[in-house]
Chains A and B, each alone.
Chain A
């Protein structure tokens, strides 16, 4: 069959968006033309400097949390009663001794009742890489006692970020605490996402009465003041439960309150996409409803959902911290940033041992990093929208 000679699109007609994206992402137009949605998002994300900083920070935090035993110089259970409220010790360096600190002995000042620590300058605690110390299970599997950095002799004490009330190393506790604090956000958001997708999806796709009822339920949930609700739900967790069931309950409580906003976002996106021409086109192609939803509609908003989720995680982290800080969430001996901050509830303690606020810095870092990443994702999720500068 002879192919008809049809007018080709003129060169002037070439897509402006491709050229823009090409200059923006530093790729050739050809690459951009056949790049999938995910690729385009990643390229744009790479150009978002703050988001990249946040991403690197987050990856680092999660790696440290996963290998907490290795990165922490001590375990959470070793403590030294005489070193309670020990201030941070800065390592010193000499050619003979390498990195070291002087061991200290503590006593209470008889007049001010303040703890006083006197370094014994004749002795040295040598600080080395890959030292043997408290034993732990790497990733819960491999029993080992190797630590990245710490005193070379097992049993020696060093307080890089100071000590808490019991005389345990604060840095180790913050590192161990990140396991719970960082994962509770993910688990909580996962549960709320599930609920949100399901209920928001039903609400948005079916519309009508179902939608109206679900939206009123969401409004009801949103109208309850958070703190009293937390109090009530947390009170229902029996105090004799161990840390793991408590942890799970707290996550469930947080996600039961957190799904509402996600459900609304999903409903809104569904309602919007349902009216897109390409969905009508798919219907007219004879595509079955399930395929329309999963092949045509869901991919259109996954990137937005990811962005929303990454912005929801820090809210979860903050909620856990707040709950635990108030003593309603996790309790000792479980270690989370919120639990650690419980020690800093007392003004007196903050005045004498301000380093006890350091878990708060960890919270801030994690939350800010998540927000940067979320912002970056949101900006890069739409390859056609011009990024606002």
Chain B
């Protein structure tokens, strides 16, 4: 009793009055069926580093019952726009101008949300109640100290008059609706007990439980693996159909846009560049930037005529044993491969328990008996989802880790050895021949060293070059990777992400290596920059005869640049072969599932492919 009374008091009692004050005649909507009409919105961040116009005169219309995708690269203002709509802009951002006309019911009154106080009861009754929000990172968007059930129930406690028992039933029903198995048990679990995909489902349940008229999803699948992303996208599409809800979906991924959008808004630097139906954006883009974005999409397949169909993709379940490797073997390579990985196994020990309790040591097998060969001058793509052991494998090849078992036969014609058993001192000559390009262009460059020092370090410690000779080599390397000679005296903070990645490549190539391990080398970059870096890598390969081990979770990138592809799943190599064979004729169930989960970057092909779901066979 006491509890419910407390909740009542929290209910927004002044909301109707506040909303009535910002009512606007319905004629002011730019389209009669608009649910949300943003007019000349301006959101500004005034920091001591200057004024940033995150949202600069943005106008867009969201029509009822449709999915509107806001697409743009990082810093384009797409998230700031979404957050402005429900007035949850991060400090010190401020909605400084424009109108946000919102009409919850088709024939209901129209309210200008921008005129509401950001902390008032009016906007609070809209948030969660009439507009639901799904964030990018469910781990940080959900509280770790409350059960998911409690968090979802709070929405109902605030927006409805249901009693606790009814609320709990509704929550369980909602969790079931978003596809969480055993919802009656899961309702009392905490976020850390759920997988990433489950968390995002719970987040969606929370956003939808009050049956909002509009759902805003801010990069809801970006933090997820591609197969999980596919499930979440399917779920959203399904829910949207069932609940006849309107959705604003924010993403940087054009593939996702092609998969789910009805209307598309392209943003850049806080401004709207182009709006239109998805088919028009993809097949008749008007703005140059949209065309650039589309051009950076890998392998656009032949356009199929016909309107996008909203049919549910067929669902196929496959299962294969995880410890068998499917090999598409063409003729065996005639010459000796540059690197031949044989039966590589990497285990990590993790100890749990404290000083006074019994220590338990558990073994995690990160790489399980992987054999691979990389021929000279080719690119091997290593793909898999997070936690599949692809990075560990790369680091074993680099000998950042000492493999538990297996061999790494390296043979470049002059030197031949098994890298796996060498000691630190014996490894030193090979450190020049096998080099690495890191994923994070920010963390991998020492901020305390100039670019000259960073790139020249391997030569200096090996005693290969010194003084002006070293400087000269560093500077000509900078030119090679498309930077200027005079940039050598700068510190890493003076460079953008793309430029830093060029510096990282220069550092890897300065020692004239034979094999370069590129671990997610382009994953942290925006699409347009990514294309430039991939082109650079390809050019350098032709010119210097490099061999790449290209590790990526991004299948489209791998398909674009790799000769052969290896697919990993939970430490096991499940499929390996020429890129074309693996992508066009996947044999292993996991590869099929992975490929079917990749969004097709053409809205006309929507729903034409069956969705494959992979369940590993129980190991005997």
B-binding residues in A (CB < 8 A): 3-4, 6-10, 13-18, 20-21, 23-24, 29, 32-37, 40, 212, 276-278, 280-288, 291, 296, 299-300, 383-384, 386-387, 389
Contact = CB atoms under 8 A, between A and B. Distances in A.
B490 interface: yes
B336 interface: no
B48 A33 contact: no
Given A6-B481, A300-B446, A284 B493 contact: no
B398 interface: yes
A212 B356 CA distance: 13
Contacts of A33: 490-491, 494
Interface stretch (B124-132, B177-185, B372-380, B455-463): B455-463
Contact of A286 (B446, B458, B499): B458
B447 A37 contact: yes
Q: Which of A4, A6, A21, A24 has the most chain B CB within a 10 Å cutoff?
A: A6
Given A8-B482, A288-B461, A291-B461, A37 B496 contact: no
Interface stretch (B33-41, B432-440, B608-616): B432-440
Contacts of B495: 15
B493 A15 contact: yes
Contact of A20 (B50, B450, B462): B50
B458 A285 contact: yes
Size category of the binding interface on chain B: 35 or more
B447 A384 contact: yes
B502 interface: yes
Given A6-B539, A16-B496, A278-B445, A287 B491 contact: no
B355 A212 contact: yes
Cβ-closest 6 pairs across A and B: A33-B494, A6-B482, A277-B444, A286-B431, A285-B458, A277-B443
A281 B480 contact: no
Contact of B480 (A6, A7, A291): A6
Interface of B: 47-50, 75, 92, 355, 398, 400, 427-428, 431-432, 435-436, 438-440, 442-450, 457-458, 461-462, 479-483, 489-491, 493-499, 502, 507, 528-529, 532, 535-536, 539, 543
Contact of B529 (A13, A20, A35): A13
A299 B491 CA distance: 14
Contacts, number: 131
Nearest to B431: A286
Contacts of B446: 278, 281-282, 296, 300
A19 to B, nearest CB: 8
Given A24-B49, A280-B400, A283-B400, A9 B494 contact: no
B461 A285 contact: yes
Given A9-B499, A36-B491, A277 B440 contact: yes
B482 A7 contact: yes
Contacts of B489: 34
B537 to A, nearest CB: 11
A32 B491 CA distance: 9
A33 B492 CA distance: 8
Nearest to A281: B444
B13 to A, nearest CB: 35
A20 B398 contact: no
A14 B497 CA distance: 9
A288 B482 CA distance: 30
Given A13-B529, A277-B438, A278-B443, A37 B448 contact: yes
A283 B438 CA distance: 13
B461 A37 contact: no
Contacts of A383: 447, 493
B503 to A, nearest CB: 11
Given A3-B480, A18-B494, A285-B461, A9 B502 contact: yes
B379 to A, nearest CB: 18
Nearest to B501: A9
B440 A7 contact: no
B490 A34 contact: yes
A286 B462 contact: yes
B529 A34 contact: no
B491 A23 contact: no
Contacts of B457: 282, 285, 287
Contacts of B532: 7, 9
Nearest to B542: A4
Contacts of B528: 10
B176 to A, nearest CB: 41
Given A284-B398, A300-B446, A9 B482 contact: yes
